[in-house]
Amino acid sequence: MWDEFQNTTLTPIERQVVYQTINFENTCTYCVPWHSLLARKAGMNETDIEALRNGTSLGDTKLESLRLFTKEVVLQRGKICRGTLEAFMNAGYTPQNALEVVMGIAIKTMSNYTNSIAATPLDKQVQQLAWKKPLADE
C-alpha cells in the first residue's frame, strides 16, 4: 500500500500533509519525527512542517484545505459533512484525491496503531526531531 500511495496523483508534499495530519491526530510519537524529515526531503518549507507538528494552519490555502479534509475524515471516521467535501473540491482537489486521502488514512492508521502497541523506540536518525503532541490538542 505504501508504494501505491506513492503513485497517487497527490504531490510528494501533499502526501506528507496527509500522512503528518494523520500522525498528529493519532498522536504517533514515532511517525511525526520521521515524516518531519520526509517532508523536508519532499521540499516542504519549515513553517509548514512546524504547523503540521503543532496541528495548526498551513500557509498555503490549498494544502490547508487538504489538511482540514484529512483531519475531518480521520476524526469523523469518514462521516464528514457535505461542506467539508465541497471546500476540498473548491480548493482544486478531485473525487479521486478524496479516495487517495482515504488510502493514506488506511496506511497511516495501521502504522500509527502498530507503533503505539509495540512502543517502537525512536531511531537515532530522527532523535533531533522527537515530538510530543501539544497539550492543548490532547
Kindly report the pTM of this predicted structure. 0.93
**Cα–Cα distance for residue pair 64/86, rounded to 1 Å:** 14
Residue 138 has pLDDT above 60, yes or no: no
Q: What is the CA radius of gyration of the chain?
A: 14
What percentage of the chain carries pLDDT values higher than 90? 93
With a cut of 70, say whether residue 20 has pLDDT above it: yes
With 70 as the cut, is the pLDDT of residue 136 above it? no
pLDDT surpasses 60 at 89: yes
d(CA 7, CA 53): 25
Question: What is the average per-residue pLDDT within 50-66?
Answer: 97
Residue 65 has pLDDT above 50, yes or no: yes
Sorted by where each begins, the domain ranges of the chain are: 11-119
CATH of 11-119, one of 1.20.1290.10, 1.20.1440.230, 3.90.1150.10, 3.40.50.720: 1.20.1290.10
- DSSP-H helix ranges across the chain: 2-6, 12-25, 31-42, 46-54, 61-75, 82-90, 95-118
Helices 46-54 and 31-42, interaxial angle, to 10°? 160
